[in-house]
Amino acid sequence: MADHPDFLDYAAHFEETTAQGSHTEWQQTSVLGRITLLLLKLGDNSFIHAIVNSLSDQEGGDSQSARFVSIFANFAIVIMGVLAAYVIGRILQMFIGREIVINQEIIIEEEVKLSDLKKQKKSAEEEKGVKEKKGRRNAREKKKIS
């Protein structure tokens, strides 16, 4: 029953109407659809058609000015893409910030034996005592000299 020609024609017609209806609904309900309709209406303007007709000097062929306009349009599209990427990057940079700072902390663990610690304290005290003795001796010697 699925191979019947009437059914195939009905299925193809149904797919076309469903796709056309959903596309029309999209154009009428969404912002991008409305922008698309606006651009289509602008492109279907008689002034635009007159400009296109003046740029073509042969039937089916394009003139040098038409090629120049085409190249300029492609160049403008590339420039607009670069500018859009730049603007999006600046907006993201506003959220993220200008600089990314990485803070690193280095922790060094050292095992110290209690006996080594006592030796260090003892040697530090001895050095301190030697300095004090030298200082006293120098003061006494100064008194003897004067």
For 6-32, write each residue's pLDDT tens digit. 666 666 766 677 766 777 788 888 888
**pLDDT-based confidence at residue 1 (cuts at 50, 70, 90):** very low
The reported pLDDT for the residue numbered 80 is: 94
The reported pLDDT for the residue numbered 47 is: 83
pLDDT in tens, 74-85: 899 999 999 999
Q: Is the pLDDT of residue 137 over 80?
A: no
Percent share of the chain, pLDDT over 70: 68
75 neighbors 65 (Cβ within 8 angstroms): no
Residue labelled with tokens 């095992």: 111
135 neighbors 127 (Cβ within 8 angstroms): no
pTM over 0.75: no
- Helices 64-96, 46-55: crossing angle, 10 deg rounding: 120
Residue labelled with tokens 């289509």: 40
pLDDT in tens, 35-57: 888 888 887 888 877 877 777 66
Cα dihedral 138, 139, 143, 146 sign: positive
pLDDT in tens, 90-127: 998 888 877 767 888 888 887 878 888 888 888 888 87
